[in-house]
Amino acid sequence: MKRGFKRFLIRFLKIVAALLVVLGLAGAALGAWYVSHLSGVVKAKFEGRKWEFPSKIYADSKIIYPGMYLSTDEVRDKLRRLGYRVSKARPRTKGEYRILGKNAVIEVYLHDFRYPLRDFRGFPVRISLKSGTIHRIQRLDDNEVLPSLELEPELVTGFYDRVREQRRVVRLDEVPARVRKTVLAVEDERFYYHRGVDPVAVMRAFLANVRRGGVVQGGSTLTQQLMKNFFLGSERTLERKVKEALMALITEWLYTKDQILENYLNEIYLGQNGAQGIFGIWEAARFYFVKEPEQLTVGETALLAGLIRAPNRYSPYRSAGEATRRRNVVLAKLVSDGIITRRAYEHALQEVFEKREPVRLTNSAPYFTDYVKKELAEHYSEDTLTAEGLRIFTSLDLEIQQAAEKALSEGLARLEKDYRHLRKTAKQDDLEGALVVIKPQTGEIKAMVGGRDYGKSQFNRVAQAKRQPGSVFKPFVYLAALTHGSAQGSGSYDSTTYVEDTPFTWSYGEKEWAPQNYNRSYEGWVTLREAMEKSLNAATARIAQDVGIGKVREMAYRMGIQSRLPLLPSLSLGAVEVTPLEMAGAYSALANNGVRTHLLSIKNVLDRDGDALEKRHIRVKRVLSPRVAVDVHNMLRGVVERGTAQRMRALGFTRPAAGKTGTTNDSRDAWFAGYTPDLLALVWVGFDRQSELGLSGSSAALPIWTDFMKRATSRLPVVDFVTPPGASARGADPRTGMVPGPPRNALARAVAR
């Protein structure tokens, strides 16, 4: 019995031993697998894409020059948005400026900026003003007088996926040694002596916490902090701490100290700017001090390093007192460790953080950026736009954009105040509008306002809404007449040709169409010029019938209209749906002496390293003879001086201008398309649900256009239109475009007798 029990016990112990060996081997294998798994996770992060970089949209740069009107208040606002800071003395470092005297001199030390295809190195410059006009622009370093000066483009917005992070990655050698030493002194002074986990720091933190009766100090190394930020989140559990420590050991085994420190300096969270997080040393230096890391003072460096523990608590934007106290703690540590001298310490204590509001990055042109994103989507995926850090340079002029937004918003509110029937009770049927601005010589879209409130409706009425243009379409009829002449053999047309403005019926197929004038009154025999100026429907329809509606449609397509145009007589009076953007593009050829420019919103696209991915060139095409273009242009000037748009002058806009009002027969849409030598703008007013507006283009759209143009051109010198050589009409008055003398066609001579 004893012998049997002994054999059983031995057999049992062997089984237990075998099980322990198996479990040990299994545990070892599982541990090895887990370490291998964590190693793979760490490698994937360090050697793959660590961060997502939103692509950024920039407005156009601003060119200033002698003779240009310049408001110092506007300059001050623009420099603030660009991140410049006020200096009491002459600007000595990049990003500083001051205004001297009674707004007579502006001194600026320009930022460096990487433009498409060139790098710009900033220099100090003085802008001298006389009576609100730029008198001279001169460099302060070598006294060179400059013919013009370019201010870097403003950042409009970024394309984000889920997390709105602002970060610019820098190499370790781009971070000054003082910044690196300060961060290590505060966060991990034994960084170069441990292997990822520091027992000395852990014990020191444990003793400090026991003495204070709470958690007042942490023992995590810089590498552990990086692992937490990269992979683990902020939950405080034993499991997370163990995993964090293990991953830190693996990271230190796989990568050098400098690689780890470089990633840490780019990863750390250092505050909040509205909805956007500030990450990394470079971004924080720009956000808090409008400087790059190498420009930081000792005190500023200490403040940034002190932020790491609690960025929002110690933010100088939130509490200058808390930030200063935390900075002083860091400075005391630096002088104690011998990183800075006692003299540097005393000097840094005297630094004062100047109270100012952070520059919020808000999308100041949401309809335009949506339009740009749609254009980019043809070549770039959503992932590329939200994660690859492209830099997109556009044609947008933010000052013109702001003027357009204000003019449309205030104009619609004014219409609702003046006309009770426009105040709809249903919010989804508020009075709406659209305004688009183009530089006709280049086709650049300078502003786009697709509605009165982007927060309520993201529908872009400039590019997406198809509405009937009414009389804004009429210039295409006159262009066809001057280009092709009569299809019935009655001769050619010019601005003095007479046409009959009386009721008539146009038969086509088995149908009939009888156009009527807007006010149901008729003028009898009138010249083409008078018919255009008074926007006479019957006369215009007679011209279209004589020329051929097919020629009218062909001309509209030639001018840039892309929507499908039905071959119907009513096409001559704009009874067809087009977008405001199409119509504005078509008018640009009239403003540019018959040369149509392809609409341009994106000028250059760079990758995150600044290398060019694409450059979109200005594309032009002559679509009208200069003579025909100038003839119709002069008619449109007459519309402003004597016709349906003469209210523009009563509203106080005195610069040379040309344009055309538009009102649909059902009174649902009001338009005005007009231009000066510098800018073309188109305004549409109506209801999304196509309720009756009951107002003409002159009453609803023209005042908004006028208000906008007064704002947008206020800083520009007054210039007149330039007629290309040989293009002016025979004997035309250069100011009015009027042609004296008898009319050309035989019918008109008979009428004149």
Q: Are 39 and 250 in contact (CB under 8 A)?
A: yes
Give yes or no for a contact between 460 and 367, defined as CB atoms under 8 angstroms apart: yes
Number of domains in the chain: 3
Cα–Cα distance, 495 to 369 (Å, whole number):
42
pLDDT of residue 23: 58
Q: Does residue 90 share a domain with residue 121? A: yes
Tell whether 144 and 249 lie within a shared domain: no
Residues annotated as part of the active site: 187, 471
Last residue of a domain, one of 124, 152, 180: 152
Are 270 and 307 in contact by the 8 Å Cβ rule? The answer is yes
Residue 66 to residue 682: CA distance in whole angstroms:
30
Identify which of 504, 518, 484, 478 has the alpha carbon closest to the alpha carbon of residue 667. Answer: 518
Residue 599 lies in a domain: yes
Inside any domain, residue 236: yes
Looking at the domain assignment, is residue 386 inside a domain? no
Strand arrangement of the beta sheet that strand 133-139 belongs to: 85-86, 96-100, 105-109, 124-130, 133-139
126 and 238 fall within a common domain:
no
pTM for this predicted structure = 0.84
| 246 in the same domain as 121 | no
Give the Å distances, CA to CA, from 204 to 207, 218, 656.
Answer: 5, 9, 79
| 674 within domain boundaries | yes
User: What CA–CA distance (Å, rounded) separates 156 from 136?
Assistant: 30
**Same domain for 313 and 203:** yes
261: burial class by Cβ within 10 Å (0-12, 13-18, 19+)? buried
With respect to residue 292, please indicate whether it lies within any of the assigned structural domains: yes
Q: What is the pLDDT of residue 740?
A: 45
DSSP string, 300-319: HHHHHHHHTT-TTTS-TTT-
Residue 11 domain-assigned (yes or no): no
Asked if 216 and 148 sit in the same domain, the reply is no
Pick the closest to residue 54 from 459, 369, 447 (CA basis): 369
Query: Within a domain: residue 102?
Result: yes
C-alpha 644/C-alpha 517 separation (Å) is: 13
- If asked whether residues 112 and 237 sit together in one domain, one would say no
d(CA 674, CA 660): 6
For residues 593 and 648, membership in a common domain is answered with yes
The reported pLDDT for the residue numbered 10 is 66
CATH number of residue 701's parent domain: 3.40.710.10
Query: How far is Cα 398 from Cα 87, in angstroms, rounded to an integer?
Result: 25
Q: Are residues 91 and 195 in the same domain?
A: no
313/251 same-domain check: yes
Looking at the structure, tell me whether residues 293 and 249 fall in a common domain.
yes
Single residue among 349, 364, 392 that ends a domain in this structure: 349
Residues 132 and 170 in one domain: no
CATH number at residue 256: 1.10.3810.10
635 three-class SS: helix
Is residue 284 situated within a structural domain? yes
> What's the CATH number where 145 sits?
3.30.2060.10
* Averaged pLDDT in 10-residue chunks for the chain of 753 residues: 62 60 60 74 78 87 88 84 86 89 85 88 92 90 92 87 74 92 91 85 64 57 86 67 83 90 91 82 88 90 92 88 92 92 92 72 84 92 87 94 96 92 72 96 96 91 95 97 87 92 92 90 95 96 96 96 95 95 96 94 91 89 94 96 95 96 89 96 94 91 97 89 71 45 42 39
What domain range is 526 assigned to? 470-752
Could you tell me how far CA 703 lies from the centroid of its own chain? 26
What is the distance between the alpha carbons of residues 256 and 279, in angstroms, rounded to a whole number?
22
Q: Which pLDDT value is given to residue 463? A: 95
Residue that terminates a domain, selected from 308, 324, 349:
349
